[in-house]
Copies of this chain bind each other. A is one copy, B any other.
């Protein structure tokens, strides 16, 4: 074995996390919801070029893993609002660190 028992636990935890939140869309959806509740087409606009299928797929996945919440309001036409669950809000520190890293090390240097 090349890594210690403790290191192995670290890898396991990361793998666990990646089972739930994986791929760029998941992260971006969670980022958007961390800024406030969003409706379906509202997210489509804010995420720019995501397809209907990709968005529905990732929303289903995140909802099944209880990271986001789907609430239907019986207006006409119907309104559906997505929000973060406790589990989802607990992910915000990850997003925060990721944002910091992107700001400091991303391709586009910050304009002075």
Chain A positions near chain B (C-beta within 8 angstroms): 2-3, 7, 10-20, 22-24, 27-28, 31-32, 35, 38, 42, 45-46, 87, 90-91, 93-108
CB contacts (< 8 Å) of A22 on chain B: these are 23-24
The contact of A102 among B7, B16, B27, B97, by CB within 8 Å, is: B16
Minimum CB–CB distance for A102 against chain B, Å:
3
Given A3-B32, A46-B11: A90 and B101 within 8 A (CB)? yes
The contact of A13 among B3, B46, B102, by CB within 8 Å, is: B102
| Copies of this protein chain in the complex | 2
Tell me if A's interface is mostly helix, strand, loop or mixed: helix
20 contacts between A and B (CB under 8 A): A2-B42, A3-B46, A10-B99, A11-B31, A12-B102, A13-B99, A14-B28, A14-B98, A15-B28, A15-B102, A16-B103, A16-B107, A17-B102, A17-B106, A19-B107, A23-B23, A90-B101, A90-B105, A91-B101, A91-B105
Minimum CB–CB distance for A109 against chain B, Å:
10
A46–B7 CA distance with the chains assembled, in angstroms: 10
